[in-house]
Structure 1
Amino acid sequence: MIIGNIVVQVVGSLFFFARAYSRVAVIKAWRAEDFVLTLAWIFCTGYSVCQYGQIDNGAGRHAIATAMQNPEAPITSQKYAYAAQIILFPALALSKMSICLTYMRIFYQDKRGRYMIQALLVLLVLLTFPFMFEVAFQCHPVQVYWTEGRPAAKCLKDFPGFILSGSLNIFVDVALMGIVLPRVLELQLHKRQRWALTGIVLLGSLAVVAGIVRMVRVSHLLTMINFEPSWDSYDVSIWTSTEIYVSLLCASAPGVKPVVVKVLPKILGSSFSRGRTRPTGEESTGIELGLGSKWKRTTIGSTRMNSKRMNEAALTTADGPYTEVGSGIDARSLSGNSDSPTTATSEGESRQGGHIYKTSEISIQTHAI
């Protein structure tokens, strides 16, 4: 029981800290989705602390055996269980909210997609607060949850509410994949990058599976006769932890690339060479521009980026927002000879000394996840 909780917590937290380091130290850009994701990690960690507290006080063992060793342990375990139920809702919702904010920024020019993601954000807010309130005050008085073991006469048994909450969480995961995946597949990316992004999006299916298993198990426990929480629900915490940390991983994974590129540049191909521009009929000037991976542009010349290209840059670049506009490279600018008469052509070229030189401008716009 404890190993299952630790494994998913460590993996999810590693991705979160890698993303946080990328934002703070590499691209130096901290956005709204990063604040939301940080809150998500705090609540996820709080949920894990509650699980470890339950395990330390008898979860996974028979309550009678635990009470014989420490009479206060079952009460303490129920207190942790009560806190975990309240923490669970923001832990699940905040990671999904961070994903929504990220994709809404990247695909902002896609009006239809933006509206659908905004609708999911509203649904998450409506899903979180009412159910938190219901769980917090499910017993009257509240303390009978742990002092009397949540007696049916004094506590609400909202089975339909649990099914509705779990179903809506699963719906949000499926809807996010359904909205984002087609847009990722439309991007003109290198095959390796496209498959990597597709894999990140499809990681949400693990959260869906974990959510379904959790619903099935808890539904069975709620209808069980002589239900013993400490013994019968040993695996529920593992599936719940898997669900919340997979959501955290899905929200963190796209922002991890700058760190990976920095650590493993050879594997990911972090440097690109640039072509050369030279006058017609002359030898190459031997000038070549080498730009780091954060530029993610291989063309010298005029560049127009439509909305799909901007989305593409947002998903592939390793650096933060940056815009540069400047002159292209030609033989005249390299030689410093600006006094010779020139003749403009209709195609933006200039004639000088019997040769035709072509000037261009490049506008590079990048955004980082």
Structure 2
Amino acid sequence: MKQSILHINELSIGYKRKNGHLHVCDHLNAEIGSGELICLLGENGSGKSTLIRTLSGFQLAISGEGTILGKNLFSIKEKEMALLTAVVLTDRIDVPNATVEELVSLGRSPFTNLMGRLSKNDKKVVAESIEKCGIKHKANEQLSNLSDGEKQKVFIAKALAQDTPLIILDEPTAFLDLPARVEIIQLLREIAMTSSKSILMSTHDLDLAIQMADKLWLLPKGGPLITGTPEDLLLQNAFEKLFVERGVEFDNKTGLFKVKHKHDRELAVKGHGFEYVLLRRAFARRGIKLTQANDQKDIWLEIPQKGNAHFNLHKEGKMVASETTVEKIVEHTLTYLN
């Protein structure tokens, strides 16, 4: 049984106004266990950043309960909070001319004396955090000389050096290319597994979250949270419900979104497999929906079979075109359909 690190019950979040409160989300219920990687997903404007700031102690909840290791999340003093939660926000700290080691050392601030001097143990924790994040060879480099992916590793190392049971990150993969996004989430996955630290991160990388997270928090506009393992949420068709009106379709089998193309014509195709998938995609961009050629049609396509590498186009019982590439067979087909 995993230890409960963070627990929220009937939480309402938002902003205080002169005439009351602006509610962003209500009836939020969730829990994070020790060593879990949790990914928070939702549309822009759904309240992900507001929830992250609330759980990080940067703004008060409107109502509801929240605890971290059994302590009231909304009455903990700042110094004690720094011993329980490390936070990496999208707006990063700017320390001119700081080296990697110097910035990661800031993570030990809750433990240093009034002079801010690092003890032998502090230095050891800093060095271990840098190594775990794969940036040991950059320890003496200035932050300004690093790539965006390397900089994000530095801020994760700083959070790791803070040695808290919970790490919260607001979109740590934003503005990174795909290889860097994969690397960052793999790093967080490794930290959760090997350091028994709980990690909550907001992200738009649904496909990576489904593959890497222990649990997902799906936040529709207004709430409530939908929580569970990626596999259970796929079984519940939760992702399609979340993005149902966004002009896309969610494929539960692949864990990917598909664009909803508008179709005004159909084309019969005989065959199946990977070639069929590619043809369906190519014709969909042109407003043509593929159907299986169960009955004889005036015009239909034949997908390559074993020993035959050609796409064959048939019209009125005769083969009128034969090509080895999707591009060419699409061009030929369009001339007969137009």
- TM-score norm. by structure 2 comes to 0.25
Higher strand share: 2
Higher helix share: 1
Highest CA radius of gyration, 1 or 2?
Answer: 1
User: Larger RCO: Structure 1 or Structure 2 (Cα < 8 Å, ≥ 6 residues apart)?
Assistant: 1
- TM-score norm. by structure 1 comes to 0.23
